[in-house]
Amino acid sequence: MIHSTAIISSKAEIDSNVEIGPYSIIGKNVFIGSGTVIGPHVVVDPYVTIGADCNIFQYAAIGAPPQSLKFEGGETYVKIGRGTIVREFVTIHRGTESGGGITEVGEENLLMAYTHIAHDCKTGRKVVLSNNATLAGHITIGDNAIIGGLVAIHQFVRIGDYAFVGGKSAVVKDIPPYVIASGDRAKLHGLNSVGLKRHGFSENTVSSLKKTYRIIFRIGLTMNEAIERVRAEVEQIPEVLGFIDFIKSSQRGITR
């Protein structure tokens, strides 16, 4: 059902099973999938794709041009995955021409009130961004990561899968998968053991990750020495290999 006061571009493509509330505005070249609910006073600007079964709450603003001085007004995009919840006053900006051209929110994300996702960011599946979490441009967040309230993340930072970032943190370097980080500036505080167990990771996997974390961050080795020791002493399961690969591929440096 589309409310009579909603303003819908003739160039928008909206599934017949979509609900759009009062006074919402849907721009051209917007695609909205089946079962999605758009609340009142929502603005969806051009070049936005919203997947099926999403829920967009009042006053969210999706697809505005990026806050980047390099942006030249090109045709860039926002894509929101299936089943994502976007709460009140969330802002999600389009990509930039030089940054890949698209901002992507993964499936089944929960974006709590006042979250901001800047240009060219990418979030994985089942990511939670708590109230007032702020992502600068070009940030990548892995699957099942949780970002606490009032967290500010510097541009180009990566947050690994299943990482937990505590509230009121300022994150300026990459945070590896499976860990807990918090503080200004953020520091590591161990493995996210509770989160891993809740997600069904085996005792062997958690134990192997704990050994990997201790060797890399707690016994004073250089990074190269630590990685070689992990390879020699820890079972090379996929999670351990992914942990090492994340660290080796860092461009901004690793939070410690």
Told to judge if 120 belongs to the known catalytic residues of this protein, a careful annotator would answer yes
Told to judge if 119 belongs to the known catalytic residues of this protein, a careful annotator would answer yes
Catalytic one of 119, 154, 161, 166: 119
Are 95 and 120 in contact, with CB atoms under 8 Å apart?
yes
Give strand pairing partners of 19. Answer: 37
Does 210 share its domain with 128? no
Q: What is the pLDDT of residues 181-233, one digit of tens each?
A: 999 999 999 999 999 999 999 999 999 999 999 999 999 999 999 999 999 99
Domain that holds residue 16: 7-138
Instruction: Please name the residues in contact with 21: beta carbons below 8 A apart, sequence gap of 6 or more.
Output: 3, 6, 37, 38, 39, 40, 41, 42, 58
Catalytic one of 120, 142, 166, 174: 120
What b/e sequence results for 15-42 when a residue is b if at least 16 CB atoms lie within 10 Å of its CB, and e otherwise?
A: eeebebbeebbbbebbebbebbbbbebb
Tell me, yes or no, whether 164 lies in a domain. no
Q: Among 72, 104, 138, where does a domain finish?
A: 138
Helix 223-233 and helix 203-217: axis angle, to 10°?
A: 150
Catalytic one of 21, 81, 124, 137: 137
Told to judge if 154 belongs to the known catalytic residues of this protein, a careful annotator would answer no
Tell me, yes or no, whether 153 lies in a domain. no
Q: CATH number for the domain including 55?
A: 2.160.10.10
Does 119 share its domain with 211? no
Q: CATH number for the domain including 229?
A: 1.20.1180.10
Q: What is the pLDDT of residues 76-105, one digit of tens each?
A: 999 999 999 999 999 999 999 999 999 999
Based on the structure, what is the number of domains in the chain?
2
Tell me, yes or no, whether 182 lies in a domain. no
